[in-house]
Amino acid sequence: MTDAYDKIANQDYLTGKQLTILSLVIIIVIQSIPLMVNHSPELEWLLLGFTAAVSACAVVGAILVQFNADKMAKVYRGVFNEDFYKTVRLFTQMRHIVKREAEEKGKNVEEELEDVVPKAYAFFRAYLDKENVVPPSLEELGVEPAPEIADEGELFV
């Protein structure tokens, strides 16, 4: 999941400067074509070339914008899925519970969290420490192993 968040944070788009340079290159190329092809009235050809260049830049820009939007949509669909929204809902519900409890005690949310979070952390930490303790073996406790018994009747003497 971290890779998806990195993709969102580090998007690779064409910048405004790159789009401007691309547009200027297209305009210059298209504007130069009428000057090389025919020597008719220059102003008409320049205006026609300018119109064509602007139209071409608009089309190329629209294609690039749609391409970037498609890339972004794919990444967002991967990240903002059902699990994401359920997690956000869970934290929102927890926030409402804390807020309600804080209001009942006459505190604000921050004060309630400052009171509860250290206690909750200490509780969970103690629980985890308790669960991760490996119990000592009988030998470590100094208890001798039980002798082998051939007949269970000996146990009830």
Contacts of 73 (CB under 8 A, 6+ apart): none
The residue among 79, 87, 86 whose CA lies nearest residue 2 is 79
- Asked whether the beta carbons of 27 and 46 are under 8 A apart, the reply is no
pLDDT digits (tens, 9 = 90+) for 125-149: 888 888 777 778 888 888 888 778 7
The residue among 94, 92, 72 whose CA lies nearest residue 84 is 92
pLDDT value of residue 5? 65
Q: Which of 12-21, 112-121, 148-157 has the lowest mean pLDDT?
A: 148-157
Q: Could you tell me what percentage of the chain is helix, strand and coil, using 3-state DSSP and rounding each to the nearest 5? A: 80, 0, 20
For 77-90, what is the HEC assignment? HHHCCHHHHHHHHH
pLDDT digits (tens, 9 = 90+) for 75-128: 888 888 888 889 999 999 988 998 898 899 888 888 888 888 899 999 988 888
Burial of 56 (0-12, 13-18, 19+ CB in 10 A): middle
pLDDT value of residue 65? 87
Q: Whole-prediction pTM value?
A: 0.40
pLDDT value of residue 2? 63
Q: With 80 as the cut, is the pLDDT of residue 155 above it?
A: no
Overall average pLDDT of the 19-48 stretch:
78
